[in-house]
Structure 1
Amino acid sequence: SNIAVLLDTKKEDEHILTVETTGALKPGEIIIGGINELTKRLEEFKETLTNFKE
């Protein structure tokens, strides 16, 4: 399983993202895949809201 943890630091504009993986995917691939999935779902949500307004 893949685990990601976002931690705050003492700096206001800094965070640490730790990604643990089984090795099947590189951490960067997991992050990019997550961003792509989030983008897709947000577009679908936006379309749903647009259709709801009509």
Structure 2
Amino acid sequence: MSEHTIAKEKAPKCSVCSKRITDLPSNRVIAHAENGEVTYTHFCSASCESKYLSKEKE
């Protein structure tokens, strides 16, 4: 893990609210593996992660 802040233009966006994740200690990441490919879904908070997971269950 890096101790440096990510530049805003290179930072991932939250998959729910599209906020850039630069220096948020509450960020969350879910890794998905399918057919040998890994993708990452980023969230700025536990709240956004919960909203995403709720929509996936529908």
Please give the TM-score of this superposition, normalised by the length of structure 2: 0.29
Query: Greater RCO between the two (CA within 8 Å, min separation 6)?
Result: 2
Structure number with bigger Rg: 1
Please give the TM-score of this superposition, normalised by the length of structure 1: 0.31
